[in-house]
């Protein structure tokens, strides 16, 4: 397979921001969240299986999955959650692999990026040759995540608690983007990593 770098980090760390800079260099960034949405689109077998299992309440009037309802159904039920994950995780992985394989045809850069908030937790890191972590102090993460969207501080803290700790994530990193500074500083770090990955890709 092609040289692929996994890009990860906690909520509000700056993954999307860093990914945009990699794209600016002609790199194909495959988004794991996007893949997770695609596999349950109307017409996909997974959506029919979910409807059969959980009933019609999980389908909205326009035929798309009602994520809020589904989330409530699996939230406090580990058995149901496992059922859902065993259905969707292999499909998400397949979708990611297909998108990564298309990179060579669609993008100029000699490597691709897999952007995933749960790269390490989900086992998707098996699909990549290197792990790049966007890192910043947890207090800044909380501040940026809460400034960006409607989640309350309490909700963001909960999401952070379900993700790897900063220390555990950084321990798995081959490269670290320090996003505690300005956007210009982040972009300059991405530019340097891009040059390094181009070289790595030509050697692999």
Positions that interact with ligand ATP (CB under 6 A): 9, 11-17, 117, 144-145, 148, 179, 182-183, 186
Nearer to ligand ATP (CB atom), residue 80 or residue 175: 175
Which structure tokens are listed for 105? 């045809």
CB atoms within 10 A of CB 185: 13
- Chain Cα centroid distance, residue 66: 21
Distance between CA atoms of residues 108 and 106, nearest Å: 7
Does the annotation list 14 as a binding residue? yes
Which structure tokens are listed for 68? 């809020």
At its nearest, how many Å lie between ligand ATP and the CB of residue 180? 8
Nearer to ligand ATP (CB atom), residue 18 or residue 50: 18
Does the annotation list 12 as a binding residue? yes
- Closest listed residue to residue 124, CA positions, set 7, 3, 2: 7
Does the annotation list 98 as a binding residue? no
Which structure tokens are listed for 6? 């996994």
At its nearest, how many Å lie between ligand ATP and the CB of residue 16? 3
Nearer to ligand ATP (CB atom), residue 5 or residue 11: 11
Reduced to 3 states (helix: H, G, I; strand: E, B; else coil), residue 174 is coil
At its nearest, how many Å lie between ligand ATP and the CB of residue 51? 28
At its nearest, how many Å lie between ligand ATP and the CB of residue 168? 17
Nearer to ligand ATP (CB atom), residue 82 or residue 148: 148
Cβ atoms of 109 and 26 closer than 8 Å: yes
Binding residues for ATP: 12-17
């Amino acid at each position: 397979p092609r040289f692929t770098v996994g890009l990860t980090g906690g909520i509000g760390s700056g993954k999307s921001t860093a990914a945009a800079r990699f794209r600016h260099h002609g790199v194909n960034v495959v988004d794991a969240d996007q893949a997770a949405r695609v596999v349950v689109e109307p017409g996909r077998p997974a959506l029919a299986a979910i409807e059969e299992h959980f009933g019609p309440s999980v389908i909205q009037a326009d035929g798309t999955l009602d994520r809020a309802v589904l989330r409530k159904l699996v939230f406090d039920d580990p058995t149901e959650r496992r059922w859902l994950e065993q259905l969707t995780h292999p499909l998400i992985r397949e979708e990611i692999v297909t998108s990564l394989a298309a990179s060579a045809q669609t993008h100029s850069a000699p490597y691709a990026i897999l952007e995933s908030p749960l790269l390490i937790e989900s086992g998707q890191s098996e699909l990549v040759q290197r792990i790049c972590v966007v890192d910043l102090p947890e207090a800044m993460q909380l501040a940026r995540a809460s400034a960006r969207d409607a989640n309350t501080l309490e909700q963001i803290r909960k999401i952070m608690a379900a993700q790897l700790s900063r220390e555990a994530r950084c321990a798995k990193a081959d490269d670290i983007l320090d996003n505690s500074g300005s956007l210009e500083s982040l972009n300059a770090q991405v530019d340097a990593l891009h040059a390094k990955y181009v070289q790595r890709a030509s050697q692999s």
